[in-house]
Amino acid sequence: MTTMTEASVREFKMPDVGEGLTEAEILKWYVQVGDTVTDGQVVCEVETAKAAVELPIPYDGVVRELCFPEGTTVDVGTAIITVDVSGGAAPAPAAPAQSAEPVAEEEKKPEGRQPVLVGYGVATSSTKRRPRKGPEVAVAQASTAIQTELNGHGPAPVASAVPDERPRPLAKPPVRKLAKDLGVDLATVIPSGPDGIITRDDVHAAVAPPAPAAAPAPVETPAVAAPAPAASYDTARETRVPIKGVRKATAQAMVGSAFTAPHVTEFVTVDVTRTMKLVEELKQDKEFAGLRVNPLLLIAKALLVAVKRNPDINASWDEAAQEIVVKHYVNLGIAAATPRGLIVPNVKDAHAKTLPQLAQSLGELVSTAREGKTSPAAMQGGTVTITNVGVFGVDTGTPLLNPGESAILAVGAIKLQPWVHKGKVKPRQVTTLALSFDHRLVDGELGSKVLADVAAVLEQPKRLITWA
């Protein structure tokens, strides 16, 4: 890495783009070494445990170095890009972050740099980059791997003796965390990084079945020896994906919700034919020109009316203070499935919005979520949530509460079904609603009233006027 002793070179460190987040993955670089950047220019996109966020740089100058390649998870406080603010041309890079050797780039350290986080201290003898391992070392390591593989079929002490003969493995904290998540013992991993440092690729390679690693053997016996083809076949049947980012945070939140709040779910099937007719009428209304008008808009409004009539549902449980916190505002969450996992952004102060304003807010929320641009702030402070499982053709479900909230409404598919209407069986637009609530602060009566009110509004949309 380029020396940082020059006064004209500034480091831009990974910021805490959320609240208390400790790391983020670099998804994409928008600049290259030698590019000129200006204060406020977006230089990269990163993914945290909550969302994908674009990072602007606070300097004017020329990009000197991209410290990590795309796909690298970097701790908060670690320099990710350096900029020469003197206005001079950047020197020719020795090896940019997107070079053909991303593993080596990930492990580079700045000369003379002081550790910025716990676990990032370096030995005094490592201030200069040591030469890469030559072919002889690589061959020796491969031979050791093959011999260990062969010995693995023998007595157990042969395999267990390898970690004991080696010193404590060298690896950065993110790599150690990855190994822990994947259940890999670092003492058994063969390092490929500079100075014997274990890289992320080394950890992933250790997860793969051992047979493909012994490359020379399968070439001679693919047609006659059954074990080699079987190992290759088994490898293709499974794909391991590290749990990180939004998906990891969602999993932790849902487990915490399921085993902290006692869930109760109630269901009601309702005729929403009149609501569907009103949706079509609103699409022709000049007040909604250019806005997204769909059943979700009126379902959201129906829930807001129900919350207004039953304000105690809009609350949270404060375990530390042993208090129920009743909210006098509604931040309406909308569960959205994105390529990076489930997120729940919310419309701030949805209770105070007119129907056209609510339509605009919902449209912007959904579009931003689909583009993966939802900010962490947009997903914080929700009070109640709607999840529309009907878009997947599902009739209903038992949704889990968004942490910190007391209720979530699931909306099933709206379908033509035979229904008794005015004494006759007719085809009507019907859906099933499911309301899950926290039974610590919402009893059956309150939960039932809220669900019944939502159903009543959707059955007779004129109640949006009479009950508002």
User: Is residue 351 annotated as part of the catalytic site, yes or no?
Assistant: no
Confidence of residue 76 (pLDDT cuts 50, 70, 90): confident
How many domains does the chain fold into? 3
pLDDT tens-digit series, residues 301-349: 999 999 999 999 999 989 888 899 999 999 999 998 877 778 899 999 9
Q: Which residue has the higher pLDDT, 427 or 72?
A: 427
Of the candidate ranges 112-121, 199-208, 324-333, the one whose mean pLDDT is the lowest: 112-121
Clarify whether residues 250 and 113 are in a common domain. no
Q: Pick the last residue of a domain from 184, 218, 237.
A: 237
CA distance 338 to 371: 8
Interval 218-270: pLDDT, tens: 444 344 444 444 444 455 677 777 777 666 766 777 777 776 778 899 999 99
The larger pLDDT score, comparing residue 24 to residue 465, is at 465
- Co-location of 273 and 169 in the same domain: no
The verdict on residue 230 lying in a domain is yes
Q: Considering only residues 383 and 201, tell me which one the structure prediction assigns the higher pLDDT.
A: 383
Query: In whole angstroms, what is the distance from residue 453 CA to residue 295 CA?
Result: 17
| CA dihedral angle for residue 412, residue 414, residue 415, residue 418, rounded to 10 degrees | 90
**How far apart, in whole angstroms, are the C-alpha atoms of residue 253 and residue 126?**
41
- Assigned domain for 127 exists: no
Are 81 and 176 in the same domain? no
Q: Residue 87: what pLDDT?
A: 64
Average pLDDT over residues 167-190: 76
User: CATH number of the domain that 163 lies in?
Assistant: 4.10.320.10
391 and 441 in a single domain? The answer is yes
Domain's final residue, options 65, 94, 119? 119
Residue 3 domain flag: no
Asked if residue 251 belongs to a domain, the reply is yes
pLDDT of residue 243: 73
Give 371's pLDDT tier (boundaries 50, 70, 90): confident
Residues 444 and 297 reside in one and the same domain? yes
* Within-domain flag for 405: yes
Q: Which of 45-54, 131-140, 290-299 shows the highest mean pLDDT?
A: 290-299
Residues 151 and 300 in one domain: no
Mean pLDDT of the region 433-441: 94
Domain boundary among 176, 208, 237: 237
For residue 460, what pLDDT is reported? Answer: 97
Q: Are residues 271 and 373 in the same domain?
A: yes
Between these two residues, 272 and 184, which has the higher pLDDT value?
272
CATH of the domain at 52: 2.40.50.100
Predicted confidence at residue 43, as pLDDT, reads: 92
In terms of residue numbers, what domain contains 189? Answer: 135-237
Same domain, 186 and 66: no
Residue 208: its pLDDT value, please?
Answer: 62
Contacts by 338-341, CB closer than 8 A, 24 or more apart: 338/246, 338/369, 338/370, 338/372, 338/374, 339/372, 340/47, 340/52, 340/245, 340/246, 340/247, 340/372, 341/245, 341/246, 341/247, 341/250
More confident call, 450 vs 120: 450
Q: Who wins on pLDDT, 135 or 262?
A: 262
Predicted local distance difference test score (pLDDT) of residue 6: 62
The pLDDT assigned to 179 comes to: 77
* Residues 324 and 451 reside in one and the same domain: yes
**Which range among 160-164, 316-320, 341-345, 369-373 has the greatest average pLDDT?**
316-320
Which of 116-120, 419-423, 460-464 has the weakest average pLDDT? 116-120
Lowest mean pLDDT of 132-146, 284-298, 449-463, name the range.
132-146
For residues 127-143, give the mean pLDDT: 43
**Does some domain include residue 389?**
yes
Mean of pLDDT values over 133-142: 44
Q: Is the pLDDT of residue 31 over 70?
A: yes
Q: 89: pLDDT confidence band, cut at 50, 70 and 90?
A: low
Kindly state whether residue 284 falls inside one of the protein's structural domains: yes
- Percent of the chain, pLDDT > 70? 72
CA dihedral 351, 357, 360, 361 (to 10 degrees): -30
What integer is the mean pLDDT of 54-58? 89
Residue 261, pLDDT score: 77
User: Does some domain include residue 2?
Assistant: no
Does 296 lie in the same domain as 231?
Answer: no
Q: For residues 16 and 22, what is the distance between their CA atoms, to the nearest angstrom?
A: 7
Q: Are 355 and 270 contained in the same domain? A: yes
Distance CA 337, CA 339 (A): 7
Residue 126 scores a pLDDT above 70: no
Q: In terms of pLDDT, which residue wins out, 27 or 172?
A: 27
2-22 confidence digits (pLDDT tens): 444 467 889 999 887 765 667
Shared-domain flag, residues 361 and 417:
yes
Q: What is the mean pLDDT of the chain?
A: 77
What is the CATH classification number for the domain harbouring 254? Answer: 3.30.559.10
